[in-house]
Amino acid sequence: MALSLLLLQLVVGISSVEEEVDVAQFSGEDTADAQLAGGLGEIGVARPGAGDDNLFFLQALSGEDVALGGIDTQQAELFGFAKQMANFQYVVGDKVSGICAVIDGAWDPEGIRSLVESGESPPCRIKRFIATHYHWDHIGRASAGRGAPLVPGISAWLAMNVSVSVPRIGLDAAAKQCALSPGALDPLDDGDELMLGSIRLKFFATPGHSKDSMVVLVTDGHGVQRGLITGDTVFPGSCGRIDLPDSDPMAMYDSLQRVVSAFNDDLVVYPGHGYSGRTSTIGAERTHGLLRPMTKAQWRANMVP
């Protein structure tokens, strides 16, 4: 299955009622020119900047690359909802060691695994699930409710003998949501690192959209920073919603300031939803998005619900 061409889309003023906050609330801008670039190396493998060819990096969009069709009416309805939610799932790993991890791999665990591991010589095998935060569209849920269906996620990965890591702050909530024992999940803390062969993942706490939100820095075996998987912290031109029950608007301000100060402008941003593009960069968001300079008072006046 071929994935769509990865595009660098810098779009301002596009918002979604699901997860996204519009930058226009702060800037007053409606749109910006779209700049398109980038592409695929191997089918389904993004090439996030120059670096180690041992890196395996896949970005899959629910309803477009995975969660397609359905074996029955119930699954077809679920996959239709997945397409509306437009979650991105990521698989990152080392092609030499054959070890990789799936990040936010909800909705269609079997489809994601098949996408990576099918064929006689798969580039890697998924050994770990990683969550950027505990919300059900990123890790799944064991029961339907509040207008959302039962969503396959970490329980399915555990059944496939894949270890599961979630942010420690949201671990109990994640376990309850998925009807699991907290002891089944491995905690992640700010500053933790995980090695996948020669590929390093480092985790940075970015609370705001949720209390446990994190971003994940991907660094190759030569120490080159290849991408930042931002979950629902940074979207192209915007950020995740900050009006949810466990959101904290002022914590989001602090988290965005941490992101913009910690990473170089050319670092590629890979968001948790496809509402406003598949990728951006720190520099683009510093210019057009919510990483642009603003004081805490300006943020409070323009962004706090």
Residue 30 has pLDDT above 90, yes or no: no
* CA distances for 123 relative to 5, 96, 115, 129, 229, angstroms: 20, 8, 11, 17, 21
Arithmetic mean of pLDDT, 85-109: 97
- Distance, in Å, from the CA atom of 213 to the CA atom of 203, rounded to the nearest integer, reads 10
Helix axes 296-303, 249-262, angle to 10 degrees: 130
Q: Which long-range contacts (CB under 8 A, 24 or more apart) does 80-87 make?
A: 81/148, 81/149, 82/107, 82/108, 84/18, 85/18, 85/19, 85/137, 85/273, 86/16, 86/18, 86/61, 86/62, 86/273, 86/274, 86/275, 87/61, 87/62, 87/137, 87/138, 87/272, 87/273, 87/274
What pLDDT score does 4 carry? 27
Span 189-238, pLDDT tens digits: 999 999 999 999 999 999 999 999 999 999 999 999 999 999 999 999 99
293 pLDDT band, cuts 50/70/90, is: very high
Q: What is the CATH number of domain 20-303?
A: 3.60.15.10
- Of 122, 131, 82, the closest CA to residue 99 belongs to 122
HSE (side-chain half, CA atoms, 13 Å) at 175 = 14
Sorted by where each begins, the domain ranges of the chain are 20-303
Residue 14 has pLDDT above 80, yes or no: no
